A and B are shown apart, each in its own frame.
Chain A
Amino acid sequence: MALVEIRDIHKKFGRVDVLKGVSLDVEEGEIVTIIGRSGSGKSTLLRCINALETVDAGEIRVEGERVHARMRDLKQFRQRVGIVFQAFNLFPHLKVERNITLAPLLTGRTDKTKARALAEDVLASVGLADKIDAWPEQLSGGQQQRVAIARCLAMAPHLMLFDEVTSALDPELVGEVLKVMEAMARQGMTMILVTHEMGFARNVADRIVFMHQGRVWEQGPPAKLFANPETPELASFIASAK
């Protein structure tokens, strides 16, 4: 059984068909990168997996459990599925430590005596152990994004979703975030990423999914997809992304 099973999902925003029958399986430990032009439905697909959006038709299952916004254990589900956003969304009124420990403490994953150690641990894994007492706005964009990743890791998720996490960063800060994600990939984390970083997609992903007009247009291993795109849409997308 795949960790994530997506079966023919449809999603409309008003009259706009954003997803027109998307099916996709993601195995445990797999790194799947979703690419495509703006408006192709990539981010919406990602948000549906986390029940941030409700699908109009079709079905999503994560670890066998059907995902929808009214699922009874949505809170527990969200603890198992981490998501990192383009805009970091750190809590500006809390220091880095508290940003990380707030959810583990409130959901009972850890207690006060162990919380600081947990924060130190996940911060070390993103290379920011020395920033534990900093305020978010004292950090660079790349550092904030790494704290956001650490905040997710503190919940020990089974699956991580990344929604264009480097798009808001200055070019010189992109590398540090990608490096953290590469390390997570090596450790076997199941990851689904929406990204414009073609180099990352090519080098780290197990599979590339190219979305076009609300559908999975083409998918396969990066080497094959980048070298021999089967559809003219993907060929032109790869050419424009270079």
Chain B
Amino acid sequence: MRSFSLIDLASLVAALRWTVVLVVLALAFGAPLALGLAMGRISRFASLRWAMAAIIQIIQSVPLLGLLFFFYFGMPVFLGIQVPAIIAVTVAYTLYTAAFLGEIWRGGLEAVKQAQWEAGSCLGLSLWQQFRHIIAPQALRLSLPPTVGFLVQLIKGTSLASILGFVELARAGQVVSAATFQPLLTYALVAAIYFALCLPLTLWSRSLEARLDGSR
């Protein structure tokens, strides 16, 4: 046994990089997919709406842990493909992000009155121009608080990647705690680091909300 030192703190902070990498990957691939799902959910084609709703329903019903297990341990069994861990977690977090953000954004898009689409189309704008300049900015403001709320969940959700061997923040906490026998201090620090990561996001979202809501 050794006492808790600055090196332990440094290893916790260093482990943050995996947390950040996982969040960035999840957002980079998940957000465009979420936008596609959200747009599919409000499409005028019923079959597309149903298909998107089914995909979202299935992903949302499976625990994140289940998704991780499926893509890492399940793929070799079902498809005979050995997937590198980083690919498996990226796919799992991407789908998780896409399903939840997609549903949040769909809600935002649907909260904008139908008459706004109509007003745009009556001015001769294309469907894309209506979406891009009229609907999306209004939907963005409405969706911002739940989007950031989800982002905070995602950051904390990356701790599950530790079961596939990623030494992200939570896993690093376990390691340090085991080495120093100071679980209380270690986990308090881990919590503080998560907090320090999430708080600015929440503050940023609030200021962005105020800025986007320029009319008030």
Interface on A for B, CB 8 Å cutoff? 50, 52, 75-79, 82-83, 85, 87, 89-93, 95, 102-103, 106-107, 135-138, 151-152, 155
**Which residues does chain B contribute within 8 Å of A89, judged by CB atoms?**
113, 115-116, 118-119
Do the beta carbons of A155 and B137 come within 8 Å of each other? no
Contact A106 B115 (CB under 8 A): no
| B119 contacts A91, C-beta separation under 8 Å | yes
Assembled-state Cα–Cα distance A85/B122 (Å): 10
Number of interface residues of B (CB under 8 A): 22
Q: Which of B100-159 contact A (CB under 8 A)?
A: 113, 115-116, 118-126, 129, 133-134, 137-138, 141
Check B214 against A93 for contact (C-beta < 8 Å).
yes
Chain B neighbourhood of A91, CB < 8 A:
116, 119-120, 134, 138
Given contacts A102-B133, A103-B124, A106-B133, contact A136 B215 (CB under 8 A): yes
On chain A, the residues within 8 Å of B214 by CB distance are 93, 95, 135
A93-B138 in contact given A106-B133, A137-B215 (Cβ < 8 Å): yes
Q: Is the CB of A93 within 8 A of B126?
A: no
Binding site for A on B (CB under 8 A): 113, 115-116, 118-126, 129, 133-134, 137-138, 141, 212, 214-216
The total of interchain contacts (Cβ-Cβ below 8 angstroms) comes to 65
Chain B residues with CB under 8 Å of A102's CB are: 123, 125, 133-134
User: Given that A89-B115, A91-B134 are contacting pairs, would A83 and B126 also be in contact in the complex, using a CB cutoff of 8 Å?
Assistant: no
Distance, CA A90 to CA B125, complexed state (A): 15
Q: Is the CB of B125 within 8 A of A103?
A: yes
Contact B122 A75 (CB under 8 A): no
User: Complex: how many Å from CA A60 to CA B133?
Assistant: 31
Beyond known contacts A50-B122, A93-B141: 10 more, CB 8 A cutoff: A52-B118, A75-B124, A82-B122, A89-B118, A93-B215, A95-B214, A102-B125, A103-B124, A107-B123, A107-B125
A93-B138, A135-B215 known; A78 vs B119 contact (CB < 8 Å): no
* Chain A residue at smallest Cβ distance from B139: A93
Q: A87–B119 Cα gap in the complex (Å)?
A: 10
Are B115 and A79 within 8 A (Cβ)? Answer: no
